[in-house]
């Protein structure tokens, strides 16, 4: 057009679609605001979006912009269930089980969290991940190959990252169930704005959705600023930046020092290429603070949905084992003893909440990777594992002995021992030890590495600590039976 000398800014109308992205994405895509610089050069122009964020750039007011809001004459709200929970994985497991015969699309902006979830919920072979080319490569390096940067054939369970939250039309001949998942404990950037990003994600499905869900945890540890506090901080940083910028260097060395000082300042990202305030970055910073405030408490997240276009159903789900516990398990993996201590503590919490729990329930709550700890906890209990110092080798040895003792005291063993001996008998140690050894061998009980001695005899009878004598030999005085056969 330049070569044809066409007056673009005069002859053409510029329509800027999904205008909120210039604010929401500028934090990690710094140049996304650049088209706005051209936007203001057009004589005829407009911005449009189903989920706009009103920008603070003064040029909009200077150019006489007006806000026109189109309101439907019918109820266009989408039904959405918001579930606030302290265990997002447990809620996902429960919901996916209910939807096991449906197609499910999960929006979650963290490939590492997605992969962790796939393994935790055993979704390998029935799930796909749609993400950026860079993330596809990353997942393949982690031995997960069901990933693609293009939205093609769907699996029963599909995970989509932020690149599919907007600007993509997903046309299906059926209506999938859509889940937005937020885990601010593990992935703070998985938090989504109910008034913009949630609306846009669900809106990707042009033929509608069967049902929409948002599963989210919250954390009062999220630090956020009020708008006044944020503007005060940014204004202070801007003043310092401009003071350094206005220094007139004396020579090349000072010019280089000033250049390095300006580029080393955190405020540099809030400045446009020509050195002016980047209003879109300021708006982005405030949007981030708002979203953090939403996810501090279940009540604040619910309140954020009140002005969003949804028919909202709210539920809560609390579990004895939480997302925070899961994060502690992951951090403890670098140290085996610390991991075992952490997991045993969490299993004890589960046991308190569910006194009749089965090992399978424990393993489902924590995942297959902790099967060995669950088994040890079931056999030995928390107190015994603590006594063993959470040493894996000691625990495994104790488990072996415990399992052997279960076999040694089986009903048929009790019957044979109590048929041979009774309370009050004074028996030579060698005699009863040899008898028990033959009994163990004849019954095919694995007993490698252990010697038949006082400890084995005490499985069947109480024995006094001091050793008796019988015909010059050491002997046991058999006390009360340990079992009533």
Distance from first CA to last CA of the chain, Å, rounded?
Answer: 100
**Between these two residues, 358 and 427, which has the higher pLDDT value?**
427
Please, are residues 190 and 109 in contact by the beta-carbon 8 Å criterion? yes
Asked if residues 110 and 189 have their Cβ atoms less than 8 Å apart, the reply is: yes
CA distance 34 to 32: 6
* CATH dotted code for 78-222+296-317: 3.40.50.300
279: enclosing H helix or E strand: helix 279-294
pTM of the prediction? 0.77
pLDDT above 70 covers what percent of the chain? 94
More confident residue, 8 or 163: 8
How confident is the model over 155-191, as pLDDT tens digits? 999 999 988 877 688 999 999 999 999 999 999 999 9
User: What mean pLDDT is predicted for residues 289-309?
Assistant: 96
Would the pLDDT of 12 be above 70?
Answer: yes
- Please say if the pLDDT value at position 127 is more than 90: yes
Is residue 343 within 8 Å of 376, Cβ to Cβ?
no
Enumerate residues 6+ apart whose C-beta is below 8 A from 71.
none
3-state class (DSSP) for residue 215: strand
Q: Is the model more confident about 81 or about 397?
A: 81
Domain boundaries, the chain: 8-63, 78-222+296-317, 331-404, 417-481
Q: Rounded distance, CA 65 to CA 47, Å? A: 10
Residue predicted with more confidence, 384 or 370: 384
CA dist., res. 53 & res. 56, Å (int)? 9
**CB-CB contact of 417 with 439 (8 Å):** yes
The separation between CA 173 and the C-alpha centre of its own chain, rounded to angstroms, equals: 32
Task: Return the DSSP state at 475.
Answer: E
**Mean pLDDT of all residues in the chain?**
90
CA angle (269 as vertex; 264, 272 as ends), nearest 5? 115
């Amino acid at each position: 057009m330049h070569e044809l000398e066409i007056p673009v800014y005069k002859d053409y109308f510029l329509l800027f679609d999904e205008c909120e992205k210039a604010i929401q994405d500028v934090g990690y895509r710094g140049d996304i605001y650049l088209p706005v610089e051209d936007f203001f050069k057009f004589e005829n122009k407009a911005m449009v979006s189903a989920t706009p964020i009103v920008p603070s750039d003064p040029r909009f007011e200077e150019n006489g912009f007006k806000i026109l809001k189109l309101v439907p004459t019918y109820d266009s709200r989408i039904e959405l269930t918001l579930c606030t929970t302290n265990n997002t994985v447990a809620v996902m497991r429960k919901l996916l089980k209910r939807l096991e015969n449906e197609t499910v699309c999960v929006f979650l902006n963290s490939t590492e969290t997605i992969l962790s979830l796939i393994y935790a919920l055993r979704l390998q072979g029935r799930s796909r991940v749609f993400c950026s080319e860079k993330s596809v490569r990353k997942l393949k390096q982690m031995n997960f190959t069901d990933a693609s940067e293009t939205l093609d054939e769907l699996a029963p369970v599909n995970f989509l990252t932020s690149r599919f939250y907007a600007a993509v039309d997903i046309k299906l001949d059926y209506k999938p169930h859509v889940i937005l998942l937020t885990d601010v404990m593990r992935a703070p950037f998985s938090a989504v704005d109910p008034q913009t990003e949630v609306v846009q994600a669900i809106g990707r499905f042009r033929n509608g959705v069967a049902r929409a869900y948002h599963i989210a945890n919250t954390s009062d540890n999220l630090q956020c600023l009020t708008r006044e506090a944020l503007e005060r901080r940014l204004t202070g940083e801007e003043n310092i930046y401009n003071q350094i910028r206005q220094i007139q260097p004396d020579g090349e060395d000072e010019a280089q020092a000033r250049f390095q000082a300006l580029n080393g300042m955190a405020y540099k990202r809030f400045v446009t290429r020509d050195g002016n305030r980047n209003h879109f970055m300021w708006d982005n910073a405030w949007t981030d603070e708002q979203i953090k405030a939403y996810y501090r408490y279940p009540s604040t997240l619910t309140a954020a949905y009140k002005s969003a276009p949804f028919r909202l159903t709210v539920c809560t789900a609390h579990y004895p084992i939480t997302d925070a516990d899961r994060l502690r398990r992951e951090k403890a993996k670098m140290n085996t003893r610390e991991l075992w201590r952490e997991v045993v503590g969490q299993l004890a919490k589960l046991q308190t909440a569910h006194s009749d729990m089965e090992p399978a329930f424990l393993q489902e709550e924590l995942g297959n990777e902790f099967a060995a700890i669950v088994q040890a906890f079931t056999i030995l209990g928390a107190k015994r594992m603590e006594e063993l110092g959470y040493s894996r080798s000691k625990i495994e040895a104790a488990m072996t002995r415990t399992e052997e003792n279960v076999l040694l005291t089986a009903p048929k063993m009790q019957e044979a021992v109590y048929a041979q001996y009774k309370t009050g008998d004074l028996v030579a140690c060698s005699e009863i030890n040899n008898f028990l050894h033959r009994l163990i061998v004849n019954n095919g009980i694995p007993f490698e590495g252990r010697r038949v001695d006082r400890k084995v005899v005490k499985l069947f009878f109480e024995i006094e600590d001091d050793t008796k004598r019988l015909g010059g030999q050491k002997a046991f005085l058999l006390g009360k039976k340990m079992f009533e056969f």
